[in-house]
């Protein structure tokens, strides 16, 4: 992951003028400014909290119900890091926490990027939909 964020993002973004995320199976191309912000966010030890002094932080104002989902096989947003996000960032929200284990839904893997891929529509898309409809 260090190589990806420290080397690949800045080099490929400089070469193409945007980050060609589609070339590594990560969806649509990302504008260079967003790619730089994403890189900065990931490489900051405190992640999103590292931006508190640079941006207007409105997370404390979120008091509505929030479904916080982690995917057991996500190497980037691990269940532990998602727990910390809920505790430190969404501290005033009414949280419902769910960790999805792919095998429990008949899936071999979901990972960081596959939750909303069409192939998983019938197995797991109902989870956030049911929460929204509650």
Domain boundaries, the chain: 2-43, 59-133
8: its two tokens: 């690949």
Q: What confidence tens digit (pLDDT) does each residue in 17-42 have?
A: 999 988 877 788 999 999 988 888 77
Q: What confidence tens digit (pLDDT) does each residue in 62-74 have?
A: 999 999 999 999 9
pTM value?
0.74
Report helix, strand or coil for 96: strand
Rounded to the nearest 5°, which phi and psi values hold at 87? -75, -45
Which residue in this structure is represented by tokens 């190497």? 75
Rounded to the nearest 5°, which phi and psi values hold at 46? -100, 10
Report helix, strand or coil for 19: strand
């Amino acid at each position: 992951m260090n190589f990806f964020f420290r080397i690949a993002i800045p080099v490929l973004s400089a070469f193409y003028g945007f980050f060609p995320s589609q070339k590594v199976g990560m969806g649509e191309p990302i504008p260079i400014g967003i790619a730089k912000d994403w890189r900065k966010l990931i490489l900051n030890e405190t992640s999103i909290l590292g931006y508190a002094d640079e941006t207007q932080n409105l997370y404390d104002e979120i008091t509505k119900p929030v479904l916080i989902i982690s995917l057991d096989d996500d190497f980037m947003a691990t269940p532990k890091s998602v727990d910390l996000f809920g505790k430190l960032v969404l501290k005033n929200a009414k949280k419902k926490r769910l960790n999805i284990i792919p095998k429990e839904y008949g899936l071999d893997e979901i990972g960081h990027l596959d939750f909303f891929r069409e192939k998983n529509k019938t197995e797991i898309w109902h989870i956030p939909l049911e929460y929204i409809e509650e």
